[in-house]
Chain A
Amino acid sequence: MLKIWSMKQQQQQAENAEGAAGKKKKKVTAAQLRVQRDLQELTLGSTMKMTFPNPDDILNFILVISPDEGMYKGGHFHFSFSVNQNFPHDPPKVKCTQKIYHPNIDLEGNVCLNILREDWKPVLNLNAVIVGLQFLFLEPNASDPLNKDAAEDLRGNREGFKRNVRGAMQGGMVRGVKFDDVLR
């Protein structure tokens, strides 16, 4: 054991030495540190806004996407982000908190975005997720559906799909389902 210790002294990390003594207080976790960095490096356009219900808890927040082009233009789409202590080894958990008509988002708010699940890698960051979400509104994808009805509509009848999107965004019914008004 002492052998190990003398090895350390050879390493001469005196600067760190001061740091480890004294009373122990809770340390900023690796996940918190990574999120702090990720947040600082975000590029949020005018179409995106984040809110932090508790500013001291940066692991849980809301992202609002307001597309300024495409079929979903004019809507305000709310996503809850929940990052666990295993981040960035686990992806953030992202859910749409409104009921919306979208081929890649189901009625429970689950989002089918590859980097939120099978293609997540620790080198990806929150910015990548946010860009990915934004892209879903610009280019809804019918080949990877989570809401099968919406995907069928998009594949079969693009104009009809667009009308459905407008109707759903106003809080209307589509195929017997009542959607949330996202225009405000």
Chain B
Amino acid sequence: MAAIDQKLRWKHLYNVLTRSGPFSDEDWVPGPETINTLESSKVLVIGAGGLGCEILKNLALSGFKDIHVIDMDTIDISNLNRQFLFRQSDIGKPKAEVAAAFVEKRVKGVKITPYVGKIQDKDEDYYMQFKIVVCGLDSIEARRWINSTLVGMVDFENPESLKPLIDGGTEGFKGQARVILPTLSSCIECQLDMHAPRPAVPLCTIATIPRQPQHCIEWAHQIAWQEQRKDDTFDSDDLEHIGWIYNAALARARQFQIPGVTFQMTQGVVKNIIPAIASTNAVIAAATTSEALKIATSCNPYLENYMMYAGEEGVYTYTFEAEKKPDCPVCGNLARAMTVDPNMTLEAFIEALGERPEAQLKKPSMRTEEKTLYQRFPPQLEEQTRSNLKLKLSDLIADGQEIAVSDPAYTIDFRYRLDFS
């Protein structure tokens, strides 16, 4: 009985996975093996918010059986209108755990492993276990982090180290879905220029002549707090803090006869809350999860590589192939390996760099993640790092460490991984 249920449940999915269609790849073998691949694929979902809830539900209903989810947030009452895996009784609980438990209960046979915390808590070993990473994030910073981590993990001897990253994002009625094959296709860093920065109000307007209620809130947040509560670190999740900002903003608004400051607006301005629309999340999450299904099973061609969805004026969608940026700081200049004598001085090393055909660096500055090795300008920093020139490489860097080199003669920077001979 249970087996029959199973079959019925996945009938439509199995239709797709057990026969080839006009668009499926010639080499693709439909059938049980493909289904098995899908069910054993470990997928990571980053974010269990508006998009994350949809993504988790969609993946579970697309036949993925081993799903992990990371989110550091707890459930707030304002999430409940669209984050449908959460109920009022869940307020204050971690999103990842509640979402995982809900989907596990609803879709029999799926295992969802939650992690409550930051993506930065986890290292490459953790990310290495997944086949695909799907992101439903609200921050550029987190996207950049996971992007550069996945790009950095690619080991050209090991195909398994390439983790396709499927990124969804929404803002009001607009959204995007993109597929990133780290080091192969345009990455998040390559596409950063496409993000329009949030328009900022000049500080002087805020300080002197506010015209809008938002200006009063910004004033309270950026100026009044600093003047009056310098020693408290502002925490946008602390209700007392928000309340203080709200009252300060209200007083200022009254002084300038500006109506409209509300507690909710204060929260929105201070936390930079972007209006979220449930259906946009659903559209974008659906796009990302069907890409996950296609990539995991190879049943149909996947998105190459960017789909934008503009729903604010009628509906317009457009798909194009974003190009890799040759000078992308993350995927554009991957470190080249260079074997060096650990007893060589930094000075001799710099000289040797000048002789390398691809570089011919004449006046390089260079550093590791934690150390400024040599910086030619400004003069004060040159003085402070000059003594390094006489030191041996082994005193300055570890075997296999990466250095980054800039030279005024080149518009791009170089990265080298120095292996000791």
Whether the Cβ atoms of A15 and B406 lie closer than 8 Å is no
Whether the Cβ atoms of A25 and B419 lie closer than 8 Å is no
Give the number of chain B interface residues (Cβ < 8 Å). Answer: 75
Contact with A along B395-419 (1 / 0, CB 8 A): 0001011111010100001010101
User: Which residue of B is nearest A123, CB measured?
Assistant: B193
- Report the bound CA distance from A184 to B179 in whole Å: 58
B273 in the interface, Cβ–Cβ < 8 Å?
no
For chain A, the bracket of interface size reads: 35 or more
Contact with B along A44-55 (1 / 0, CB 8 A): 100001111001
- Report the bound CA distance from A8 to B334 in whole Å: 15
Contact A16 B402, CB 8 Å, known A26-B370, A28-B369: no
Whether the Cβ atoms of B381 and A3 lie closer than 8 Å is no
Segment 198-246 of B: residues with Cβ below 8 Å from A: 199-204, 207-208, 222-223, 226-227
List the A side residues contacting B330 at CB < 8 Å: 30
Contact A146 B203, CB 8 Å, known A4-B162, A27-B402, A108-B227: yes
Segment 127-172 of A: residues with Cβ below 8 Å from B: 144-146, 148
Contact A19 B200, CB 8 Å, known A25-B402, A56-B372: no
Contact A29 B369, CB 8 Å, known A24-B124, A58-B381: yes
Whether the Cβ atoms of A40 and B408 lie closer than 8 Å is yes
- Report the bound CA distance from A101 to B208 in whole Å: 16
The distance from the CB of B152 to the nearest CB of chain A, in whole angstroms, is: 6
List the B side residues contacting A33 at CB < 8 Å: 329, 404, 406, 413
Whether the Cβ atoms of B207 and A112 lie closer than 8 Å is yes
The distance from the CB of B303 to the nearest CB of chain A, in whole angstroms, is: 13
The distance from the CB of A37 to the nearest CB of chain B, in whole angstroms, is: 4
Whether the Cβ atoms of A112 and B203 lie closer than 8 Å is yes
List the A side residues contacting B199 at CB < 8 Å: 118
User: Which residue of A is nearest B164, CB measured?
Assistant: A4
A residues lining the B interface (CB < 8 Å): 1-5, 7-8, 11, 13, 15-30, 32-34, 36-37, 39-42, 44, 49-52, 55-58, 85-86, 89, 104, 106, 108, 110-112, 114, 117-118, 120, 122, 144-146, 148
A-B contacts, 10 of them at CB < 8 A, read: A1-B131, A18-B336, A19-B417, A27-B152, A27-B402, A36-B367, A40-B406, A56-B371, A86-B144, A144-B202
B residues lining the A interface (CB < 8 Å): 25, 27, 124, 131, 140-141, 144, 148, 152-157, 159, 162, 164, 181, 183-184, 189, 192-193, 195, 197, 199-204, 207-208, 222-223, 226-227, 295, 298, 329-330, 334-337, 363, 365-372, 375-381, 384-385, 398, 400-404, 406, 408, 413, 415, 417, 419
